[in-house]
Amino acid sequence: MYSMRMKRTTLVLNDKLLDEATRALGAKTYSATVNTALAELLRVRKILSISAFFGQGLWQGDLEEMREDNDRGARPPDHRSQGEKKK
């Protein structure tokens, strides 16, 4: 079992934004609203930061070579039993 660490703090928040966010998130408390909003902000920032890795040379290899089939035109073997094969 693990415990969640919580911090108690006082915030000055815009009432209208807090109410709108609470409704939009379907949260039952203001604390849940703020926690969900913070988690969502971090999730979105992580997604947006992924593009920073593009073109950085993290992967080494030849994509064209990987895409080539050694035996062009040959179909992979059908591993289904006789009763399962398409008719």
The Cα 36–Cα 21 span in angstroms is: 10
Instruction: Give the list of residues 6+ apart from residue 32 with CB closer than 8 angstroms, or none.
Output: 25
Read off the pLDDT of residues 52-87 as tens digits, 9 standing for 90 and up.
777 666 667 787 888 876 555 555 666 666 665 555
Q: Which of 30, 35, 31, 37 is nearest to 15 (CA)?
A: 30
Q: DSSP 3-state assignment of 7? A: coil
The Cα 44–Cα 30 span in angstroms is: 21
- Write down the pLDDT at residue 9: 92
Read off the pLDDT of residues 38-54 as tens digits, 9 standing for 90 and up.
999 999 999 888 877 77
Domain boundaries along the sequence of the chain: 8-49
